[in-house]
Amino acid sequence: MSTRSVALRVLQIAVLAFIYAGAARLGLRMDAVSGFATLVWPPSGVAVAALLLFGPRLWPGVALGAFLANVLTGAPPLVAAAIACGNTLEAVVGARLFRGSAVSYRSLTRLTDAVRFILVVAVLSTTVSATIGVAALSASGLAPWAEFIGTWRAWWIGDLIGILVVAPLVLVWAQKTARPLPRRLLTVEAAGAVAAVSLASAFVFGGDPPSPLPLIGQPYLVFPPLLWAALRFGSVGAVSGTFVVSAIAVAGTAFGHGPFAADVLHEGLLRLQVFMSTVAITMLLLGAAMSERT
């Protein structure tokens, strides 16, 4: 391997570690259960996407980023190292299993690959990180064993949502062939779809429900513009719309707005994430089906 190749790999690892640690610090601010199990964990999606796009050789970036994030949060070095091992194994296992079973593992534009991604990466590999991380917290006394199930659930859901929302966004936009044609009319329609998704999300999650509309299930008002984005723009529209809705929903719930707001933040986020997992899975499958059909 040439010196230039080594330098490039080191740079990629450093960049991945920096992005992972920054995203992790953001997630850990969201009222993490036991201080470390958060319901908002975007780094899981970042790690999986990076390993799928650039190969498993970047795993040290995941390990370093996870270790730094947990040490800065207050975890003892040994506990931080154990948690980092779980985070790294999650990404490596998920990427390895998915790369071996999917035809178009980088773009998620085939329905069968989208199903495999949900089952193998989002559902299965996340159990690795949750189990190792929570076991490390409990063994060190940072989390009581009596709350193992609740802490594990919060950890698993956070990783699940991070992978479902963030990884598809990176994978789809990394593929030039997955983007819609830059025709003027199509660009205007795309801007309209983004505006509709944003406005619907802001209406639902940006304030208290207006009195005339308390009984019509306001969270589901985000589905019509999401369907528009997915049906017209396939995977790129579906995953982009899901990301916009998720970002606005998490921000609104964190500030005490919207239908899922609660006195205790992690309780509100738990309600929100159950809803968002439904949105993310539905849109990922629909977008992949439309892209494959096209």
Structure tokens given for 118: 């949900």
247-256: b (≥16 Cβ within 10 Å) or e: ebbbebbbee
Q: Is residue 173 part of a domain?
A: no
Please answer whether residues 275 and 223 qualify as being in contact, where contact means their C-beta atoms are separated by less than 8 angstroms. no
Q: Is residue 172 part of a domain?
A: no
Reported as a single tens digit per residue, the pLDDT across 9-64 is 889 999 999 999 999 888 877 766 656 667 778 999 999 999 999 988 999 999 99
Give the range of the structural domain holding residue 77, as residue numbers without chain letter: 3-166
In angstroms, the CA 124 to CA 95 distance is 11
Quick one: angle between helices 184-205 and 223-254, nearest 10? 50
Reported as a single tens digit per residue, the pLDDT across 194-249 is 999 999 999 888 876 544 455 455 788 899 999 999 999 989 999 999 999 999 99
Q: Of 137, 166, 195, at which residue does a domain stop?
A: 166
Structure tokens given for 100: 């071996």
Q: Are residues 126 and 198 in the same domain?
A: no
Q: Are residues 159 and 226 in the same domain?
A: no
Mean pLDDT over the full length of the chain: 85
pLDDT for 211 equals 44
Q: Is the pLDDT of residue 174 over 70?
A: yes
Please answer whether residues 241 and 226 qualify as being in contact, where contact means their C-beta atoms are separated by less than 8 angstroms. yes
Q: Of 166, 188, 204, at which residue does a domain stop?
A: 166
Q: What SS3 state is found at 76? A: coil
CA distances from 195 to 10, 65, 155, 215 (A): 39, 34, 32, 25
Q: Is residue 99 part of a domain?
A: yes
**Confidence bin at 176 (pLDDT 50/70/90):** low
Please answer whether residues 152 and 136 qualify as being in contact, where contact means their C-beta atoms are separated by less than 8 angstroms. no
Q: Are residues 204 and 160 in the same domain?
A: no
Q: What spatial distance separates the first Cα and last Cα of the chain, rounded to whole Å?
A: 41
**Confidence bin at 187 (pLDDT 50/70/90):** confident
**Confidence bin at 263 (pLDDT 50/70/90):** confident
Q: Is residue 246 part of a domain?
A: yes
Considering the entire predicted model, what is its pTM? 0.88
Q: Is the pLDDT of residue 84 over 60?
A: yes
Q: What is the CATH number of the domain that holds 9?
A: 1.10.1760
In angstroms, the CA 260 to CA 131 distance is 27
Q: Are residues 74 and 149 in the same domain?
A: yes
Q: Is residue 245 part of a domain?
A: yes
Q: Are residues 68 and 12 in the same domain?
A: yes
Region of 144 on the Ramachandran plot (φ > 0 left; ψ -120 to 50 alpha; else beta): beta
- Structural domains of the chain, count: 2
Alpha helices per DSSP H over the chain: 3-28, 43-54, 59-73, 77-101, 111-116, 126-140, 148-173, 184-205, 223-254, 265-293
Q: Is residue 131 part of a domain?
A: yes
